[in-house]
Amino acid sequence: MDRMLVVVFDSEGKAYEGKKALSQLENEGSIVVYEYAVIGKSPDGTISLKQGDDRGPLGTLVGTSLGSLIGLLGGPVGLAIGATAGFVAGSAADLDNVRVGADFIDDVKQELAPNKFAVVAEIQEDWTTPVDSRMEAIGGKVYRRALSEVKQTVDDEETAAMKADLAQLKAERAKAHADRKAKLQEKINHLDSRIQAWQEKAKERRQAAERQAKAKVEILKAKAAVVKAKAKAKLA
């Protein structure tokens, strides 16, 4: 199952230990790490990106679920650019891209107090014990949430609801007196614009999700090839 993982630590050093533990778990075959970042919260509440993996098929963190989560964790004070080149803030803080509930984000923000650090990662895991036991052993508090796959259904339902309202307005305009037609037409135009904008945003979300899905497949293929090569090397 694909999940968003956040592990909060009391020090930067422990956060790097947490990142190392993720790599070890992946090497052991317990999990797959699609992308990760080490972040910290400064005394003024600003989130800094300390270390990140933006070299793989997923590319820059911006626009991915992980990048969006990091942006949202910065809250109203925003996000400071960290050490990883290529990370840009801006539109990263988009709840629609995170694919986890707002309650998850709120829980993490509450735990990630100033002067604390965290490892955030998008991973694939079949069971939670390997990550939990390893992180708890080094003082990490684990938060995880399965990535939602139902956004398309929500988009379709919202579009259908707005189109139903639009149809009703048009039916009312057809029967209205002249003095009401102009006002109804204004509402029709406004709602039609909202529908077009919503559909365009939904299209962009679908395309982004498709790109991420393809990138994940490539990551899994590359990791499988490495495992196969290591196995051959042992037999040689």
pLDDT bin (cut points 50, 70, 90) of residue 202 is: confident
Please tell me whether residues 134 and 209 are part of one structural domain. no
Given 146, 173, 206, the domain boundary residue is 146
pLDDT of residue 57: 37
Please tell me whether residues 51 and 109 are part of one structural domain. yes
Cβ of 39: how many Cβ atoms within 10 Å? 27
CA atoms 30, 24, 212, 4: torsion sign = positive
Please tell me whether residues 100 and 121 are part of one structural domain. yes
Please tell me whether residues 65 and 137 are part of one structural domain. yes
Interval 29-55: pLDDT, tens: 899 888 888 999 988 888 888 876 654
| 194 has a pLDDT exceeding 60 | yes
Q: Which of 86, 94, 98, 54 is nearest to 215 (CA)?
A: 54
pLDDT bin (cut points 50, 70, 90) of residue 158 is: confident
**Mean per-residue pLDDT, 93-102:** 66
| 207 has a pLDDT exceeding 80 | no
Interval 165-193: pLDDT, tens: 899 889 988 988 888 888 889 999 999 99
Percent of the chain whose pLDDT exceeds 90: 26
What's the number of domains the chain is made of?
2
Which residues are CB-neighbours of 149 under 8 A, at least 6 positions away? 99
Please tell me whether residues 181 and 101 are part of one structural domain. no
Given 87, 119, 146, the domain boundary residue is 146
pLDDT of residue 78: 47
Mean pLDDT of the chain: 79
Residues of the domain holding 129:
2-146
Given 91, 122, 146, the domain boundary residue is 146
The rounded distance, in Å, linking the Cα atoms of 11 and 31 is 24
Q: Which residue has the higher pLDDT, 72 or 110?
A: 110
The rounded distance, in Å, linking the Cα atoms of 232 and 226 is 10
Cβ pair 116, 130 in contact under 8 A = no
